[in-house]
Amino acid sequence: MTLGSQNIFISIRHTARSSQNTGIQRVVRGLTRYAVEDPRVHLVEWRNWKKEFFEPVPRITKGIRLFGGPQVLQTPLFLPLPRSLRELKTAIACLGLRRQTPLKRHPHFYGQKGWLLLPELMTAEMMREAIDYGKSMGLQVAVILYDCIAYFHPEWVNERIRENHRGYLNAAAEADLVIAISETTALDYKKFLKTENRTGASVQAVYLAEEFLGIPKGGVELIEKSKEGKVWKILYVSTLDPRKNHLRLLKAFEQVKFSRPDLQWELTLVGHQYEGAGEIAEEVEKLSKSNPSIIWKQGVSDEALAELYEKSDFTVFPSLVEGFGLPIAESLWRGKPCLCSGVGSMKEIADKGGCLEIDPMRNESIAEGLIRMMNDRELREQLSEELKSREFKMWQKYAEEILGLLGQV
């Protein structure tokens, strides 16, 4: 099947209404920024109170344009002059306002084949309704899948999140195609189907872009801070989520402080508290108050985050499990090597260069990695050379791959 002139509808419901820029919203903005250059692509919003898709209302959906997202979102206000009795009835029923015309009755779109792409997380119920709606229009439906973490690690989430995620995955399996953001996530989806003893949509892994959208690529400089009295600036960007491993990281820093008191460091943690994990936030807050070498920041803008990357010597990302690991990629984009977990999707990123991999389950491995990053000049030279030669995948390339995949299926 070739896509030809068929339509591709991309749902932007949550991102379009948000002033934040979470990992998923980074993906939605990066994808749509370049996808809209294709005349077959139309951004749509799911209005939950009507249970239908509509063309976006710019005043309400202006969030999609933030943080480097697509700037062209203006659709004409009125429907074109009707060309048939059906179009005339539609225009009268909708008072001529095309943004108030659901896709099923839209004179430009009804009866045409194509795809509906769902790139955002939804509740299980909303996902089922959106997929059913697309299929009722004769469209094929694709879902971008970020992870299956809440399904396979119920110990890290509450019952409500756990049950909704299971329902979400089962709903996504009813689509025509699941597009995983990493090979690890694709394997987890297949494992989910096997665990549930069911069949489901086929899965294709499309590796995410590594570009920090809207932020220029950083230069790579050899870190020369071995002299006495120099303070190592270390950065960890992550929500204070149990799987992000903050407590092991902090214990590893305690080990470094005990075994290598000559190494001076400053750790900056950037991320909000995670719902249901108040004990992590309490520990971080306590340590940041008692130890001036530990700094916790919340609500940091992308520009401020880029500056923190610029001022850091290296970053850390000792997460236990990820669907991808965008902070690793964005650290490398800014020219900063990363001490990260050598497992799953994080290993997929690290193996391309610029990272020192550690075992996130062992405090000793994290501590040893920290010491090496601060004390091993040959390692720093190696990571710098890897960063200089590393090729970064851009969001334009990611959009091209997604649209190309829909044309092949």
Q: Are 156 and 191 found together in one domain?
A: yes
Q: Are 188 and 254 found together in one domain?
A: no
338 SS3 class: strand
Q: Are 26 and 148 found together in one domain?
A: yes
Asked whether residue 214 is domain-assigned, the answer is: no
Asked whether residue 1 is domain-assigned, the answer is: no
Q: Are 198 and 62 found together in one domain?
A: yes
Percentage of the chain modeled with pLDDT above 70:
90
Asked whether residue 63 is domain-assigned, the answer is: yes
Q: What is the mean pLDDT of residues 30-49?
A: 93
CA 18 to chain centroid: 15
Asked whether residue 298 is domain-assigned, the answer is: yes
Global pTM?
Answer: 0.91
180 SS3 class: strand
What's the mean per-residue pLDDT of the chain? 90
For the segment 246-294, what is each residue's pLDDT rounded down to a tens digit? Answer: 999 999 999 999 999 999 999 999 999 888 788 999 999 999 999 999 9
Q: Are 188 and 63 found together in one domain?
A: yes
**φ/ψ of residue 245, rounded to 5:** 70, 30
Q: Are 307 and 336 found together in one domain?
A: yes
d(CA 343, CA 63): 34
**Tokens at 19, concatenated:** 């002033």
Q: Are 375 and 402 found together in one domain?
A: no
169 — pLDDT class (breaks 50, 70, 90): very high
Q: Are 129 and 263 found together in one domain?
A: no
Q: Are 159 and 246 found together in one domain?
A: no
112 — pLDDT class (breaks 50, 70, 90): confident
**What would the DSSP string read from start to end of 2-63?**
--TT-EEEEE-HHHHT-S---HHHHHHHHHHHHHTTSTTEEEEEEETTTTEEE---TTT-GG
State the chain's maximal CA–CA distance in angstroms.
83
Asked whether residue 243 is domain-assigned, the answer is: yes
Q: What is the mean pLDDT of residues 208-226?
A: 81
Asked whether residue 161 is domain-assigned, the answer is: yes
Note down the domain range covering 32: 7-209+396-408
Q: Are 341 and 285 found together in one domain?
A: yes
Asked whether residue 2 is domain-assigned, the answer is: no
Q: Is the pLDDT of residue 72 over 70?
A: no
d(CA 142, CA 129): 14
Q: Is the pLDDT of residue 33 over 60?
A: yes
**What would the DSSP string read from start to end of 351-366?**
TTTTEEEE-TT-HHHH
For the segment 372-393, what is each residue's pLDDT rounded down to a tens digit? Answer: 999 999 999 999 999 999 999 9
Strand partners, 202: 177
In the sheet with 355-358, reading across from the earlier edge strand, the strands are: 294-297, 264-270, 231-237, 314-317, 338-341, 355-358
In 10 A of CB 222, how many CB atoms? 11
For the segment 300-346, what is each residue's pLDDT rounded down to a tens digit? Answer: 999 999 999 999 999 999 999 999 999 999 999 999 999 999 999 99
Asked whether residue 218 is domain-assigned, the answer is: no
Q: Is the pLDDT of residue 93 over 70?
A: no
Strand partners, 232: 265
Q: Are 205 and 275 found together in one domain?
A: no
For the segment 145-168, what is each residue's pLDDT rounded down to a tens digit? Answer: 999 999 999 999 999 999 999 999
Domain with residue 48: its CATH number is 3.40.50.2000
Q: Are 107 and 241 found together in one domain?
A: no
If one counts the domains in the chain, the total is 2
